[in-house]
Amino acid sequence: MDSIRKTIFKDELRFVQLEHNLSGPEIDQIIQSIFENPLTSAKQYMLKREINTLEDLSSEVKKVSTNKEVIGAINTLFSVQDDLEIAVDLKILHRVFG
């Protein structure tokens, strides 16, 4: 299972709004549906506790938007991919001493 971020900066979501020409009411519906703190003055939004996977996130966003590009863009904001490559030398050391 891929990890997901539990917070994003408000400006990250604003970028999605501008990129996909979402109206104020459209983005407000999305904000209300997926965030614990939709009305806060904090610089970040926190995902609702019950949203733990990208599938959970997609399901919640689909309740208020059918735009697949918007759903994909929001999922991308929260997606975390482990792209750390372990050096060959460290792999060998792990086999020898691990």
pLDDT digit string (tens) for the chain, length 98 residues = 467 999 999 999 999 999 999 999 999 999 999 999 988 888 999 999 999 999 999 999 999 999 999 999 999 999 887 665 666 666 666 677 65
The residue among 79, 64, 67, 82 whose CA lies nearest residue 21 is: 67
The residue among 74, 1, 8 whose CA lies nearest residue 36 is: 8
For the chain, domain boundaries? 3-80
Rounded to two decimals, what is the model's pTM?
Answer: 0.76
